[in-house]
Structure 1
Amino acid sequence: MKSTLLRTQMVLFDNSLIRLDYNPATDIMEVEYPDLHDYLLSEIKRSIDTLLDTVNNYDVKQLLLDSTRTIISVGDVESREIATYLAAGLMRTRVQKVARVQSPSATVETTAQNNIRHISAVQVLPFELQNFSSKAMALEWLVGKS
């Protein structure tokens, strides 16, 4: 029965950039981190706003950001701007834990790690942030099994 609860998800939002899956049994929202292309930056910010509104409306405490399929074709400045925008927005929610599933791309991962270091140096995050090499490990951490 417990494994069934862990698989009960609702799609709260879905567009060409992001999909928000929420599991009320575990209070975990899953989102695939969007591809970062110059021509999509304003739409990505609107999608992040939708993510943040949804997190607030459902009072989500745990978020899984899946970067396994993310493609980045913007520069470091634009990538950092989007990551900072997301982090600043999450700071205004009641999120307690953010699990990030790493990209298999070394380039994407280097950019992400640089962004995380920058954000952590500039502001104190009011939530725990951990990186994981697999979605299963991230979910275990979010449900408190590790």
Structure 2
Amino acid sequence: MILLQNSILRLEYNPATDILQVRYPDLQRFHMSEIRHSLHVMVETIRNYDVRKLLLDARTTAVEIEEDENRQLTMELVAMLAKTRLVKIARIQPYDPEREARAQHNIEEARKAGLLSYEVATFSTPDDALAWLKA
């Protein structure tokens, strides 16, 4: 069932598997306040539905902001998600290997900072990601 759909995010929840699927938004400088707001709405939805498993699809996400701003946004999101009851996050990696390397660096920084209270795994296909979440 679709819980939210706007120009930035689409939240699709399957109560049978307790998996929320989200296409990670394009990070465009002139939309950052809307993106931050939408990510807050996503976290509130996770909290309200007591979601335990999240699938973040970053395959086609465009990143048009500076690396420092991207890292800061990632840390904010990780910290907000840590305040939910999430157990697992499966990421579908971007097609661009350079963007994926930066994303992995940000995830490692969050790990070092002790912000991850849930498992995070990265996959190249949605089927692999869903299989891991369902296991």
SS of 1:39's equivalent in the other structure is: helix
The equivalent residue for 2:128 is 137
The 1-side partners of 2:91 and 2:63 are apart by 16
Please give the TM-score of this superposition, normalised by the length of structure 2: 0.97
Q: Which residue number in structure 2 is paired with residue 26 of structure 1?
A: 17
Corresponding position: 1:96 with 2:105 = no
The runs of 5 or more residues in structure 1 that have no matched partner are 1-9
Helix, strand or coil: the match of 1:22? strand
Counterpart AA for 2:19: I
Bigger radius of gyration: 1
Q: Which residue of 2 aligns with 1:118?
A: 109
How many aligned residue pairs are there? 135
Which 5+ residue runs of structure 2 have no aligned equivalent?
none
Distance 1:139 1:76 in 2: 29
Q: Which amino acid aligns with 2:99?
A: V
The partner residue of 1:54 within 45, 57, 64 is: 45
SS of the residue corresponding to residue 104 of structure 1 reads coil
Q: Which amino acid aligns with 2:60?
A: R
Partners of 1:27 and 1:38 in 2: how far apart?
33
Q: Specify the code of the residue in structure 2 equivalent to 1:41.
A: M
Distance 2:8 2:111 in 1: 26
Following superposition, the deviation at residue 81 of structure 1 comes to 1.2
Quote the sequence identity (%): 41
Residue type of the alignment partner of 2:15 = P
